[in-house]
Amino acid sequence: MSSRILPTTSKRAFDAPFTIGVISDTHIYTGSRREIAPGVKRLFERAQIDLIVHLGDANSRSVLAEVAELAPLIAVVGNNDDEDLQYLLPQTTRFTVGEFSFAAIHGHGGRSARDVAIERWAGKVNCVLFGHSHVPLIEQYEGTILFNPGSPTDRRWHPHFGVGVITIDKMGIHPDLVLFDQPDHLDSIQFEDRGEA
């Protein structure tokens, strides 16, 4: 694979119903012993995700290749990503699902990741996805859903690891934080089978 090619999709418009797996701040460098737990991957498979969004600080391209095996991938750059990703990934990106608009940004460069997400996207999209703080969050601000999944590998000062699952249908955007202490705990979480849309 060329160093100029990433395992990301260029598609930015999707039809509802639709399910997004959201992950951020995996912080896995090449040769690191840290990994995305198999429980996280199994969770996304059971959720029948249609797209995965990585919100930065993957740290290496191999992480993006790994999550792109689960579903088409959109990714933005984080402040700790390696030089390759700093060059190749966008700072922010937008996409739509049905009539709803989304933005993705890591969230570094301001007083807080929440402030960066608000300053850049509040009132401009229906939902902004961001990371950086490792603090899971769902909040409504000026008509925009603020969504931070936390981190599945580095909870820092937060009591839980986290990822996100967002479902979109004609009625709206339905965000869920999936918080856990141990990755194996994720195996007890079930999702309704969407069946035929």
Q: What CATH number is attached to the domain comprising 106?
A: 3.60.21.10
Assess if residue 10 is contained within a domain.
no
Identify the helix (H) or strand (E) that includes residue 93. strand 92-97
For residue 117, count other CB atoms closer than 10 A to its CB.
30
Assess if residue 193 is contained within a domain.
no
Q: Are 146 and 175 in contact (CB under 8 A)?
A: no
- Number of structural domains, the chain? 1
Assess if residue 52 is contained within a domain.
yes
Identify the helix (H) or strand (E) that includes residue 20. strand 18-23
Assess if residue 197 is contained within a domain.
no
DSSP state string for 98-132: TTEEEEEE---SSS-HHHHHHHHHTTTSSEEEE-S
Cα–Cα dist 49/72, whole Å: 9
Assess if residue 30 is contained within a domain.
yes
Assess if residue 77 is contained within a domain.
yes
Q: Are strands 92-97 and 73-75 parallel, antiparallel or unpaired?
A: unpaired
Per-residue pLDDT of the chain (197 residues; tens, 9 = 90+): 334 578 999 999 999 999 999 999 999 988 888 999 999 999 999 999 999 999 999 999 999 999 999 999 999 999 999 999 999 999 999 999 999 999 999 999 989 999 999 999 999 999 999 999 999 999 999 999 999 999 999 988 889 999 999 999 999 999 999 999 988 889 988 887 765 44
Provide the pLDDT for residue 156: 86
Domain range spanning residue 50? 18-183
This prediction's pTM: 0.94
**For residue range 18-49, what is the model confidence (pLDDT) as tens digits?**
999 999 999 998 888 899 999 999 999 999 99
Assess if residue 70 is contained within a domain.
yes
Assess if residue 173 is contained within a domain.
yes
**For residue range 58-82, what is the model confidence (pLDDT) as tens digits?**
999 999 999 999 999 999 999 999 9
Cα–Cα dist 190/3, whole Å: 38
